[in-house]
């Protein structure tokens, strides 16, 4: 009986740890350039919203062209995806920190 209870507790702890690990890091991908139409302007793509700029051309801008991550509050971050001549798409996420891992991807915790 004690062994069964012990195994049940260990199993529950492992399941809880698995869910906790899954919640630790989230990945957010910028919308692909082919989904961004500047004229007529696309206002949102998969949880990302535009910043109301409008131009022509669809390509990712260099990493140094925008802030990329802005801390709004201790547990809230704003992610920015920059497009050359096509403005900025942003997304607010609940996370204590975010890092831009490539020109089109963020990892947040």
> Which tens digit of pLDDT belongs to each residue from 6-35?
434 344 443 344 444 456 899 999 988 888
> Which tens digit of pLDDT belongs to each residue from 28-74?
999 888 887 777 777 888 999 988 766 655 666 554 567 789 999 99
64 in any annotated domain: yes
Q: Which residues of 58-88 are buried (b: 16+ CB within 10 A; e: fewer)?
A: bebbeeeebebbeeeeeeebebbbbbeebbb
17 in any annotated domain: no
3 in any annotated domain: no
The domain tally of the chain equals 1
18 in any annotated domain: no
Specify the pTM: 0.70
Domain extent for 82: 26-108
């Amino acid at each position: 009986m004690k062994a069964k209870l012990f195994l049940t507790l260990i199993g529950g702890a492992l399941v809880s740890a698995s869910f906790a690990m899954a919640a630790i890091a989230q990945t957010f991908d910028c919308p692909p350039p082919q989904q961004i139409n500047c004229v007529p302007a696309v206002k949102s793509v998969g949880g990302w919203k535009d910043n109301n700029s409008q131009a022509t051309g669809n390509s990712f801008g260099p990493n140094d062209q925008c802030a990329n991550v802005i801390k709004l509050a201790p547990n809230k971050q704003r992610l920015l995806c920059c497009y050359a001549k096509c403005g900025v798409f942003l997304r607010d996420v609940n996370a204590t920190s975010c890092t831009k891992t490539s020109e089109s991807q963020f990892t947040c915790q």
